[in-house]
Amino acid sequence: MSDPPQPQAAPEPATSGQGDVTQPGPEGVAFLPFGTDQPLYLPLIQGQIIRLLELKPGAWDDPVSARLFIAELQHAPEYDAISYVWGDVSKTVPMICNGRTLHITQNLNAAFKRVRLIDQPRIVWADAVCAS
């Protein structure tokens, strides 16, 4: 008689190398939130999923850095929607999003600087980044 099969432990979540745990994507495949080898905008496969932006802490003069991620509306973390005037779309500034450069309008950059916190991340929704 053979021994009954032993339960296997779930695999440990991989990390992006920056201390951030991966999140499950479609079909349970993990994706690296800071991986530059993946598209910045993953498709929203269900009607109740949105993109949110976690602004990293920083002082006014610090460049804007953030993590774009997806969340189910029913289980989304608390977030604030940002209302701002787009401004001249030809005048952009770079920000770091998921480890890569993303160009945003000067007005959105100023709005991010205004609402981000100095000592902890802040989760926001901004149409120019989250609705694309």
Largest CA distance in the chain: 75
Structure tokens at 102: 């993303």
Burial (CB count within 10 angstroms: exposed 0-12, middle 13-18, buried 19+), residue 104: buried
Structural domain spans, the chain: 34-130
What's the whole-model pTM score? 0.66
pLDDT tens digits for range 48-61: 889 999 999 999 99
Distance in angstroms between the alpha carbons of the first and the last residue of the chain: 58
pLDDT tens digits for range 18-57: 333 334 444 554 444 545 666 666 666 667 889 999 999 9
Q: Which of helix, strand or coil describes residue 108?
A: helix
| Beta strands in the chain, from DSSP E residues, in sequence order | 23-24, 30-31, 49-55, 65-72, 80-81, 92-97, 100-105, 122-125
